[in-house]
Structure 1
Amino acid sequence: MSSLGPGRSPEPYAPSQYGYAAPTYTEVRPTAPWGTSGPPVPATPLWAAPRNRRSWSVGGAIVLVVLGIITLVSVGTIAQTTGIDGALVGSAVALIPLVGVLLGIRWVDRWEPEPRFALLFALLWGAGVSTLVSLIINTAAAMALYANTGDVTAAETTAAVVVAPLVEETAKGLGVLVLLWTRRRYFDGPVDGIVYAATVAAGFAFVENILYFGRSLDFLPAVFAMRGVMSPFAHVLFTAAIGVALGLAARSRWRGAWIVAFPVGWVVAVALHAWWNGSASTENFLPLYIVFQVPLFIGVVLLVLWLRRQERKVLTARLAEYGRAGWFTPGELSMLTSFSARRQAQSWAKTLGGTAGSAMRSFQRSATRLAFARQQAASGRAGVRLAEDERALLQRITADRQEFLGAAAVRGR
């Protein structure tokens, strides 16, 4: 990729400069959903393709195993309070809001899905590390408060309104911060920050729900209505403040921007969490929920919609630059910048049989990653591996296109 400075985005190299012919599609003309086209004619690459770096590695697998063990320890600790039956029932019921929250996260993450390793790390960090740390510190704080005051109600209220928000948002927020430090190339902005923060929060809420559901079997429907219906996204909303802050930091050319962003997001998260816990302990919870929590949720949804729209604008603008250089046809650009057209293209590719369907999905993912990598360069945040990543992605895009359009040519479509 040519050198890019902040605010400056020259055209990418043409395919011929990488040893490929531009995708003119004149030899074979199968009908794809986005128009008449045929497979390009690739030349021998002038460069050696870099070795594919897998998101999964031995070290990564060990990290996930350790986090999984910590999660089991957290659930085991809760089982000591709820009993085995309570923990089993609580776990089964807690899966319901967890699935709903994860589907919501997937909807947010549609344009540029995050690596599975990073998402699984976030989920297990929330369910394991954040939960275990919170269980230990919150319990110790409540016991200390009771020992000093002799008032059970005051001790529990103070622990819930003051201690819990401080401890829990710190424990969850650190997981998002670790992902920023270790997976910065996949941490492109506020949407990614919301996705990672929401996934951490989803893991935390799942294990916490096991506790609440497991110890409330006699009136489980009421507790489920409160936690699983009225507030399944509560922890997500709190920790999302940290995610947005770190996402903005990720877009800064100053790599230490998180030093300022993390405390700002953390303060907002703690304040929201404290307000929620405080309102839940009053008789006016329902009016406060309607007046404050519902508008907050709607506001966050509107923010996500706006951020996703901005992502689409980036995707459209950056891929258009590659289109002008000869890497994509106009029909492909239209397909890549529309969710409905992407689904239509995937359905069409599946009808071709073989690996055409997976090639289409890979084509779309690689094109999206290419656009956001170029955006990083255009905003002055390009890493040392950007040129290597660009070449690898362009090679993958070309190979995927050959695969599904070649299959279409064979079938006469």
Structure 2
Amino acid sequence: MPALETDQPDFTAVPERAKWRYKPRRAFWRSKLLRAVTLIALLALCALAILALVREETGTAGFLVGLGLAVLPVPLLMAAFRWLDRVEPAPWKNLLFALAWGAFASTLVAILANSFAVEWISSVTADQGSADTLGATAVAPVVEETAKGAAVLLLFLFRRRDFTGPVDGLVYAGFTATGFAFTENILYLGNAFGEDQEIGATGIGSMTVGTFLVRIIMSPFAHPLFTSLTGLGFGFAALLPATARLRRTRLVLLPLAGLLLAMGMHALWNGSASFHPLAFLAVYGMFMVPVFALLTWLAIWSRQKELRTISGELPAYASAGWLARDEPLALSSMRARALARGFAARTYGKPGAQAVGEYETFATTLAFLRHRAGLGQAAPDFAAREQELLHHLWQRRQVASPALTYAARATGRVWAPPQYLDYGGYNPYRS
């Protein structure tokens, strides 16, 4: 036993962890494995239910045709959102959850809720046509955007460490909406094919071709555009410092404002398609395309802001000797990062390129960890996480540091001393 309360007892007789007889155990319902299995089973049941409903609606032939055509834009959209998230990539398990939620859970909720609402409106008004129009313009946007936004909310609540700003919100919302649009396109394209089969329509004038042009060629970004507004609301909420005034209120209002904007844009889009083809084209050209361009600019600006965060936070570690002087500037350039990996691959082979890639990832995480601490969002284990990241960097610096220094010089992103300092009589910047 220790002589003083501040001393540590001697536990030299305790066996190693693998031989412990008494191990700390979590309650069964708190097991990560149980939660993962439950979530996967829930999404699988939703998948079976929604695919069965779509197949019943479209028929087997229509389902297969719709599936083959609807899958075409999915890889392109996923690649676009993944490219946007290159600075600090989100874990694939989060992205796959968002995609599966959008494709199965949210579409199941939307189909059931929309069908119930349209039937109820039709029974009250005794007018099926107006019920369909009202359902498309008033009910569907609310139901669908709420169902898709639920995935972003779950990631915001339970994967908070991976949800750091607007880019993460855009990416998670984009993957969710891509999955939703995929399943919805199967339904629309399958129904169009079935109608063409009934009337014997073929060629350019068929319903299938028209639906394909509108949903796959002209507007594959429609659902991601709507839900991105919800994602931006959560993303800006993630930036709020812990000491912000009215933080709890703003944490609710920002996502809610994004959700309401998503519903409004979705309602405008559906309403234009319901009323007149010219109204659809006008909304598409005068509203949807400019808003899409604005959000694209905002997404790129947000990514550049992330790179500026790296160049602003990492010099502190360079001053302390953990990084070389030019590394923060190289790590804040996507081109320099790629050059560093290429240099390592040529010099050290594939393991070298992998080590540099891991070094870049750890350094980026370290920069954002320090940035969040500066905003008052430091986790209780900040010091431990910082030390762990520095440990990983130190293990790889022998390979990564020369590669990043080379990349910094090759791209002109090198540290230069200020011109106004006195260099002991000789100043190369003085004419």
Query: Following superposition, which runs of at least 4 residues in structure 1 exceed 3 angstroms of deviation?
Result: 56-59, 254-257, 402-407
2:137–2:267 Cα contact (<8 Å) kept = yes
1:299 is matched with: 294
1:158 is matched with: 134
Which of 1 and 2 has greater Rg? 2
TM-score for both structures, normalised by structure 2: 0.78
Could you tell me which amino acid in structure 1 is paired with residue 44 of structure 2? G
Map residues 131-210 of structure 1 onto 2, 5 A cutoff.
131-210=107-186
User: Is 1:287 matched up with 2:287?
Assistant: no
1:250–1:257 Cα contact (<8 Å) kept = no
2:66–2:189 Cα contact (<8 Å) kept = yes
User: Is 1:248 matched up with 2:243?
Assistant: no
Counterparts of 1:70 and 1:381, CA distance in 2: 36
User: Is 1:397 matched up with 2:373?
Assistant: no
Matched residue of 1:330: which SS? coil
- The alignment of Structure 1 onto Structure 2 pairs a total of residues equal to 353
Could you tell me which amino acid in structure 2 is paired with residue 398 of structure 1? W
1:127–1:206 Cα contact (<8 Å) kept = yes
Please state how far the C-alpha of 1:354 moved relative to its aligned partner. Answer: 4.9
Matched residue of 1:355: which SS? helix
Partner deviation per Cα, 1:270-315 (whole Å, 9 max, x = no partner) = 1011001001112221122111111111111111121112111111
Matched residue of 2:67: which SS? helix
Counterparts of 2:67 and 2:344, CA distance in 1: 39
Please state how far the C-alpha of 1:318 moved relative to its aligned partner. Answer: 0.7
Counterparts of 2:177 and 2:373, CA distance in 1: 31
Please state how far the C-alpha of 1:70 moved relative to its aligned partner. Answer: 1.5
1:268 is matched with: 261
1:7 is matched with: none
What stretches of structure 2 of length at least 5 have no aligned partner?
Answer: 1-31, 197-206, 404-431
Could you tell me which amino acid in structure 1 is paired with residue 151 of structure 2? G
Counterparts of 2:388 and 2:61, CA distance in 1: 51
Counterparts of 2:354 and 2:36, CA distance in 1: 25
Partner deviation per Cα, 1:149-183 (whole Å, 9 max, x = no partner) = 22221111111000000101111111111111001
User: Is 1:369 matched up with 2:365?
Assistant: yes
TM-score for both structures, normalised by structure 1: 0.81
Counterparts of 1:324 and 1:57, CA distance in 2: 42
Map residues 3-402 of structure 1 onto 2, 5 A cutoff.
59-217=35-193, 218=196, 219-252=207-240, 253=242, 254=247, 257-283=250-276, 284=278, 285-351=280-346, 352-402=348-398
Counterparts of 2:370 and 2:44, CA distance in 1: 36
1:242–1:266 Cα contact (<8 Å) kept = yes
Matched residue of 1:126: which SS? helix
Counterparts of 1:276 and 1:201, CA distance in 2: 15
More divergent stretch after superposition (393-402 vs 165-174): 393-402
1:64–1:124 Cα contact (<8 Å) kept = no
Partner deviation per Cα, 1:112-168 (whole Å, 9 max, x = no partner) = 111111111111111121111001000111111222222221111111000000101
Of structures 1 and 2, the one with the larger relative CO (CA 8 A, separation 6+) is 1
Counterparts of 1:173 and 1:220, CA distance in 2: 30
Counterparts of 1:324 and 1:221, CA distance in 2: 61
C-alpha RMSD over aligned residues = 2.0
2:189–2:211 Cα contact (<8 Å) kept = yes
Counterparts of 1:88 and 1:168, CA distance in 2: 24
Partner deviation per Cα, 1:222-264 (whole Å, 9 max, x = no partner) = 2111011111111111111111111111122246643222221
Counterparts of 2:56 and 2:165, CA distance in 1: 41
More divergent stretch after superposition (88-97 vs 268-277): 88-97
Counterparts of 2:248 and 2:36, CA distance in 1: 24
Matched residue of 1:215: which SS? helix
Cα gap change, 1:147/1:99 in structure 2, threshold over 3 Å: closer, same or farther?
same
2:327–2:401 Cα contact (<8 Å) kept = no
